[in-house]
Amino acid sequence: MNLGVSLRKSSSWLWGIIILGFLLRVIVLQKIPVGFTPDEASFGYDAYSLLKTGQDQWGHFLPLTLESFGDFKAPLYTYLTIPSVAIFGLTKFATRFPNALLGSAAVYITYLLVVQLLNFGFRTTGPKRYLQLTTYPPVQTGNLRLGLVVAFLLAISPWHIMLSRGAFEANLTTFFLPLSTFLFLKGIKDFRFLIPASITFGLNLFTYHSARLVTPLMILFLILLFRREFKLLLQRVVTNQSRRRDRFVFALEDRLMRAYIFSVIICLIFITLVVYTFTEGAGRRVQDVSIFRGALEAQAAARLITIEGGVNPVLARLMHNKYQIVAKRFIDTYRQFFSVKFLFKNGAGETTYGMLPGTGVLYWFETPFLIGFLIYILKNPREKIGVITLFWILVATIPASLTTGKGYAANRVAIMMPAIQIASALGVTVIIDILNKRMSSNFTRIVLLLYFFIVLLSFGSFLKKYFLLSPQVASKGMLYGNLEVATWLGENSEDKLKIIVSRKLSEPHIYIAFANKWDPKDYQNYSKDWNRYKDKKLAFLDQLDSYFLGKYVFQTIEPRDLNLDSTTFLVGRPGEFPDGMNIVNKISYPNNDTAILVVEPFGELYAKTN
């Protein structure tokens, strides 16, 4: 086939895949995922506050870490949301749109990365047989096809679609890390790309906590893997320009060295900023979820049981120590992310990040692809695309394995994408190669056609479950009703002097602020008093006994609150109220179970009779 025709066809297919990926991430974005988590509301309101005042909800000027509820989030998502909030206003759509947009862009960036990796090579030329960096050939249609396969797998990925549709900051790294790697590879061939690569690598450090460990590891690995190429880049500059004036050669060398130096300086600046954030509270989050937390207590309890069982105390100490406890926790969690249960069967262990329960993060049809990838690695151990992909996948799960939690946290290992899709695509090439060698070309085409039909069936099944059935099963995890009741209160409580909102609604203050577009300056005045939670050594703001935002009081609903008069609303879960109360409004989950009640107190009559 003519190369020009192949390029045009590839371009058409690529645009089709990108449009498909965009539509899958944007359609009914304000409704699916159902609900709106406190983290999403916090990102949106922080963006609104920064837009209006240059300060976050706590009054911090252009913060490098977001205090939020005491969990100290990475800030990049909020900064990226500012233009969206400025254009669309403070809405669910505006808060989620940046992630959907970058998730769609990740499909294109991944395509570029794969083609760049596959086109990377060397050849020996010239009378002095020095190595010259080049691509051979400049464009290969097979490379473009593989790039399209990877882009398609990412575009329809259940994992990526679900994480791209909410304001989930963990998904940002699926755009920034492949972009950084692509620019790094371009920088080896053209040093002008090294500075943009260092900037995007640096920005990736502020996407999500996992990226702060994986990003430096990726940079070091790429430098080590391409150390020879960096030397050749400098050699090429000197050799190719040796017949020109020395002043020009030195000028070019100087530009190259400046690119190297500026890149290193930029990386050091970002690393310094990350270290600084740990002094500003980010370190608290690491300590709260670290597998080292509670290790001493766990080893002491295990050792005591062993000794009581008749084992020598010295031997018991060797059998049970904090290092053994931590190692076991790490290995157990690390293995989770490569299990059939996580990858193909049940997927994420929680629904708070828009993940559909009972749905693997990969399709079942990708199973043979991943087996094919292992064969590819064994047959091509020195192919850079395979080595980078394998390293990427293996290190992506390390940060999540160093943390505690419910397990199977798909958001914490989102950084594995798009490497896992690249692995699947490489596996496809192995399977096709095996089919071509053992079967006729016509039979191979029939097999591939049937398999593509299976792909479409799997994809259609996921779309049905996600867009039609997920509201029934994921609404509680996504805290459906919280934003709805906050919006209703803003529109129907003008005559109320006091509104008591139960802390069981999970960070209810942020929903009130978001739904009512609370003036950030006024909000920041209230948040000064909320710093009490840190003085009391509490992990989160809503662990305070009581705190205020205007006429809203956030606390546990007590029996005495039922005695208040009709100038008060009580807002909470159904189980917090006795029978017979005057229900003013009821928010129901999509499956019609009651989510939240707005009630009026019994008043003085109840107080006298009880």
Res 144: pLDDT:
81
Alpha helix segments (H runs only) across 241-280: 246-277
Boundaries of every domain in the chain: 3-32+91-289+337-472, 482-609
Mean pLDDT of the chain: 87
352 with 477: CB under 8 angstroms? yes
In this prediction, residues 479-490 reach a mean pLDDT of 97
User: Does pLDDT of 254 surpass 70?
Assistant: no
Q: Which residues, 6 or more positions from 382, have their beta carbon under 8 angstroms from its beta carbon? A: none
355 with 162: CB under 8 angstroms? yes
Q: Which residues, 6 or more positions from 374, have their beta carbon under 8 angstroms from its beta carbon? A: 427
In this prediction, residues 239-253 reach a mean pLDDT of 51
328 with 320: CB under 8 angstroms? no
Question: DSSP strand E in 538-577: where?
Answer: 546-549, 552-555, 568-572
Using H for helix, E for strand and C for coil, what is the string for 355-420? CCCCCCCCCHHHHHHHHHHHHHHHHCCCCHHHHHHHHHHHHHCHHHHCECCCCCCCCCCHHHCCHH
Q: Sign of the CA dihedral 579, 580, 583, 586?
A: positive
User: Does pLDDT of 145 surpass 70?
Assistant: yes
| 290 secondary structure, DSSP code | B
Binning pLDDT at 50, 70 and 90, where does residue 414 land?
A: very high
| 519 secondary structure, DSSP code | -
Query: Ramachandran region of residue 549, left (φ > 0), alpha (ψ -120 to 50) or beta?
Result: beta
Distance CA 277, CA 268 (A): 14
In 10 A of CB 89, how many CB atoms?
Answer: 11
Res 135: pLDDT:
33
User: Does pLDDT of 126 surpass 50?
Assistant: no
pTM over 0.85? The answer is yes
Residue that has been written with the tokens 């939690």 in this structure: 405
pLDDT-above-70 percentage for the chain: 84
Total residues belonging to the chain: 610
